[in-house]
């Protein structure tokens, strides 16, 4: 007699041991059909796992996250099987499920080509149609090693050898293909129908650059074809929104081969957006009680020795330059400079909190292969700030910084956050007492904002705990921009102090924080989030006045000048072109307001606006419209 308890608390009894699949069938045909695996007493198991004792069972369907992961994992095996059938010389290594899909790494004598990918995908469909059973087998470690050695799968042997000798190893067999795997897997290959191979790339064995480079084939897999299509559509959508493409189309910025990789050139229209971002940033920081600093882009290398960057950050720093018998370093960070300003005079406990912000441009050496549009560059501007305070002020300061962070992200249209709190790692500086106190302060600040957060235990930097905030864009992608970090290290290294109430010297607490992170990267994210259709307050051109014929030029120019006088970024298209042509052109440039001017408008000192959605608002008096646009821009409406 076996009793199985289901997630809803109900129990089911069976006379003899049953498989997970049989339990699913006993509940309903629909469930049995959707089932891919089970979770028995918290452990993931196959559908044909035999339950021979009482326990809790949840049926995992392909619609669930866990089910999808199993499908992706099984699809990676399906791909490996296809590869082995087509190219027996290829050796299999590992093939896990990843976000939205899976990959499998192979060692093969030649690179896989796009044609190979098509062939592999075709073969995968064939194997799916063959509907082969996927069977779990178990054996002792040494037997498994011998088996894979016989098959010539050296990587598999290496993996298995790392497992304890007395442990039982599970294998999954489908057709002639056998793979070491913990499982679970779908019971038959016919469960796998909605997949597509996406790309092939190099990847090191065990992720170590000293090891042999393997070939990784990436694919995506879903529960059904509809979901697959939706995902492929999303990929297309993302490609359309690619900031590199939009940056070129809208003439916002460029990267230039002759200048070198990872160096960003902001064009006039991109600079307008940046100015709008910076203007908001400044306004918000003044309101939040910050002062501003401007500090140099380079300084004597000694400074970087003192800060310790030379020891632990050297790989990301450009080489120093030699000037007047001294070495100078272009800065990869702003913090040492802010500390120098702090050190330029004595400080009292009454000075705190000190909040200093700077749009600080930094230069970091990134591997050439890592460069990517505006997202990974070698020179960028941080919206950096450093707060100096006393221990007991930490919580208030962090709370204030979180306020500013959420306000800033919200203003740019990001309302969904994932918050991470990273705590003390094994190797760290600072006393346990201060770590505990600071970590608690961070946690309290997060709780004050009623934010859910994930604690990354031991994930903090060696110098202090931190809070990271990730935003979600309109395609559901997550980006980490904001970071708030405590630093118990730099104040020590630079020996910065303040005079306390007791007349003695004390060490201040230092907080680093950036809200947007890198302006370049944030701009790229905004560009993709809005697909180039910036909200009015950010748009490089907020309004474009369009003439019907040359006769309307005077009024059009006047409208443009009135808009500019009201503080709007306005232009006029006075060209001798048809109105349809102008509308098309400026719509493609994603200008939020197009103001058409013809005889009627000129007579009545009016305009006919067309908004971002393409709607013609009809004849409107200019004065009222200007008021409306100014309000829209000033309130930074999204």
Partner RNA sequence: GCCGAUGUAGCUCAAUUGGCAGAGCAACGGAUUUGUAAUCCGUAGGUUUGGGGUUCGAUUCCCCACAUCGGCUCCA
* Interface ranges with RNA (CB under 7 A): 111, 199-204, 207-209, 213, 215-216, 218, 244, 248, 255, 257, 260-262, 308-309, 312-313, 315-316, 332-333, 366-373, 461-463, 489, 548-551, 576-581, 583-584, 587-588, 594, 596, 598-601, 608, 610, 614, 616, 619
Of 243, 272, 424, 512, the active-site residue reads 512
Of 116, 384, 468, 487, the active-site residue reads 384
Minimum CB separation of residue 121 from RNA in Å reads: 16
Bridge partner residues of 486 (DSSP):
511
Report cis status (omega within 30 of 0) of the bond before 192. no
Q: What angle do CA 95, 98, 103 make, to 5 degrees?
A: 35
Taking the least distance from each CB to RNA, the nearer of 476 and 503 is 476
Minimum CB separation of residue 68 from RNA in Å reads: 20
Between CA 593 and CA 609 the distance in angstroms is 7
Q: What is the dihedral of CA 103, 107, 110, 113, to 10 degrees?
A: -10
Contacts 24+ apart (CB under 8 A), 38-47: 38/184, 39/66, 44/70, 44/183, 44/184, 45/20, 45/183, 45/184, 46/20, 46/136, 46/183, 46/184, 46/185, 46/187, 47/19, 47/20, 47/21, 47/184, 47/186, 47/187
Minimum CB separation of residue 428 from RNA in Å reads: 9
Residues 171, 139 contacting (CB under 8 angstroms): yes
Residues 186, 36 contacting (CB under 8 angstroms): yes
DSSP assigned state of 253: E
Taking the least distance from each CB to RNA, the nearer of 62 and 434 is 434
Minimum CB separation of residue 587 from RNA in Å reads: 4
Minimum CB separation of residue 193 from RNA in Å reads: 24
Q: By 3-state DSSP, what share of the chain in percent is helix, strand and coil, each rounded to 5?
A: 40, 30, 30
- Nearest partner of 335 among 446, 491, 475, judged by Cα: 491
Taking the least distance from each CB to RNA, the nearer of 220 and 405 is 220
267 is catalytic: no
Taking the least distance from each CB to RNA, the nearer of 36 and 607 is 607
Taking the least distance from each CB to RNA, the nearer of 34 and 371 is 371
Residues 6 or more apart whose Cβ sits within 8 Å of residue 75? 102, 124, 192, 195, 219, 221
- Nearest partner of 153 among 129, 130, 181, judged by Cα: 181
Taking the least distance from each CB to RNA, the nearer of 448 and 507 is 507
Taking the least distance from each CB to RNA, the nearer of 31 and 557 is 557
Q: Would you mind telling me the total number of residues written for the chain in this entry?
A: 638
493 is catalytic: no
208 is catalytic: no
Of 73, 466, 586, 590, the active-site residue reads 466
Taking the least distance from each CB to RNA, the nearer of 457 and 600 is 600
335 is catalytic: yes
Taking the least distance from each CB to RNA, the nearer of 372 and 448 is 372
HEC per residue, 554-613:
HHHHHHHHHHHHCCCCEEEECCCCCHHHHHHHHHHCCCCEEEEECHHHHHHCEEEEECCC
Minimum CB separation of residue 45 from RNA in Å reads: 30
Minimum CB separation of residue 474 from RNA in Å reads: 18
Minimum CB separation of residue 25 from RNA in Å reads: 40
Q: Residue 258 in 3-state DSSP?
A: coil
Minimum CB separation of residue 96 from RNA in Å reads: 11
233 is catalytic: no
Of 364, 560, 562, 569, the active-site residue reads 364
Of 81, 91, 329, 382, the active-site residue reads 382
384 is catalytic: yes
Q: Residue 118 in 3-state DSSP?
A: helix
Burial 181-194 (b: 16+ CB within 10 A, else e): bebbbbbbbebbbb
Q: Which two tokens stand for residue 203?
A: 């990847």
Of 386, 513, 569, 582, the active-site residue reads 386
Q: Which two tokens stand for residue 539?
A: 């748009």
416 is catalytic: no
Bridge partner residues of 544 (DSSP):
571, 594
Of 157, 193, 285, 335, the active-site residue reads 335
Q: Which residues are catalytic?
A: 335, 364, 382, 384, 386, 466, 512
């Amino acid at each position: 007699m076996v009793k199985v308890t289901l997630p809803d608390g109900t129990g089911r009894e069976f006379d003899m041991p049953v498989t997970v699949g049989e339990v699913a069938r006993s509940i309903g045909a629909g469930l049995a059909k959707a089932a891919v695996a089970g979770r028995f007493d918290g452990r993931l198991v196959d559908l044909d796992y035999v339950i021979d004792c009482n326990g809790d069972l949840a049926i995992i369907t392909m619609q669930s996250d866990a089910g999808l992961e199993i499908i992706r994992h099984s699809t990676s095996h399906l791909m490996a099987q296809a590869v082995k059938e087509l190219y027996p010389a290829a050796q299999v290594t590992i093939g896990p499920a990843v976000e939205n899909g899976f990959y499998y790494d192979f060692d093969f004598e030649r690179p896989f080509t796009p044609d190979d990918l098509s062939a592999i995908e075709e073969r995968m469909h064939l194997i799916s149609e063959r509907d082969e059973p996927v069977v779990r087998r178990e054996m002792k470690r040494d037997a498994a090693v011998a088996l894979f050695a016989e098959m010539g799968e050296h990587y598999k042997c290496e993996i298995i050898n790392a497992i304890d000798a007395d442990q039982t190893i599970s294998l999954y067999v489908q057709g002639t293909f056998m793979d070491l795997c913990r499982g679970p897997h779908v019971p038959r290959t016919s469960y796998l129908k909605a997949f597509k191979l996406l790309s092939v790339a190099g990847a090191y064995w065990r992720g170590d650059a000293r090891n042999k480079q393997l070939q990784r084939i990436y694919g995506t897999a879903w529960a059904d074809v509809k979901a697959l299509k939706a995902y492929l559509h999303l990929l297309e959508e993302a490609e359309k929104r690619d900031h590199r493409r939009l940056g070129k189309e809208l003439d916002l910025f460029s990267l230039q081969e002759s200048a070198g990789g990872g160096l960003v050139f902001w064009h006039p229209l991109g600079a307008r957006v940046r100015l709008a971002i910076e203007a908001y940033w400044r306004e918000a920081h003044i309101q939040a009680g910050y002062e501003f600093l401007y500090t140099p882009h380079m300084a004597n290398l000694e400074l970087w020795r003192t800060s310790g960057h030379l020891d632990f950050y050297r790989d990301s720093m450009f080489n120093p330059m030699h000037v007047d018998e001294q070495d100078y370093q272009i800065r990869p960070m702003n913090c040492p400079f802010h500390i120098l300003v702090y050190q330029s005079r004595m400080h009292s406990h009454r000075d705190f909190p000190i909040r200093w912000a700077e749009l600080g441009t930094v230069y970091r050496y990134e591997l050439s292969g890592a460069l990517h549009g505006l997202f990974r560059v070698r020179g960028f501007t941080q919206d950096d700030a450093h707060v100096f305070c006393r221990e007991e002020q930490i919580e208030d300061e962090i709370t204030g910084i979180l306020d500013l962070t959420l306000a800033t992200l919200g203003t740019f249209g990001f309302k969904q956050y994932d918050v991470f709190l990273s705590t003390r790692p094994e190797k760290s500086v600072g006393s346990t007492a201060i770590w505990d106190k600071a970590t608690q302060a961070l946690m309290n600040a997060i709780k004050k904002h009623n934010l859910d957060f994930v604690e990354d235990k031991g994930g903090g930097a060696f110098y202090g705990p931190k809070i990271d905030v990730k935003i979600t864009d309109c395609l559901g992608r997550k980006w980490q921009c904001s970071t708030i970090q405590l630093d118990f290290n730099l104040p020590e290294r630079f020996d910065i102090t303040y005079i306390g109430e007791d007349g003695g010297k004390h060490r201040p607490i230092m907080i680093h924080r950036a809200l947007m992170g890198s302006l370049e990267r944030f701009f790229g994210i905004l560009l993709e989030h809005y697909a180039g259709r910036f909200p009015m307050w950010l748009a490089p051109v907020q309004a474009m006045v369009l003439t019907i014929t040359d006769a309307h030029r005077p009024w059009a120019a006047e409208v443009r000048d009135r808009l500019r006088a009201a503080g709007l970024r306005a232009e006029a298209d006075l060209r001798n072109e048809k109105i349809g042509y102008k509308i098309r052109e400026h719509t493609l440039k994603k200008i939020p307001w197009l103001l058409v001017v013809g005889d009627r408008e000129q007579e009545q000192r009016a305009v006919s606006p067309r908004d971002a959605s393409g709607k013609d608002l009809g004849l409107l008096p200019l004065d009222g419209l200007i008021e409306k646009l100014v309000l829209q821009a000033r309130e930074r409406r999204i």
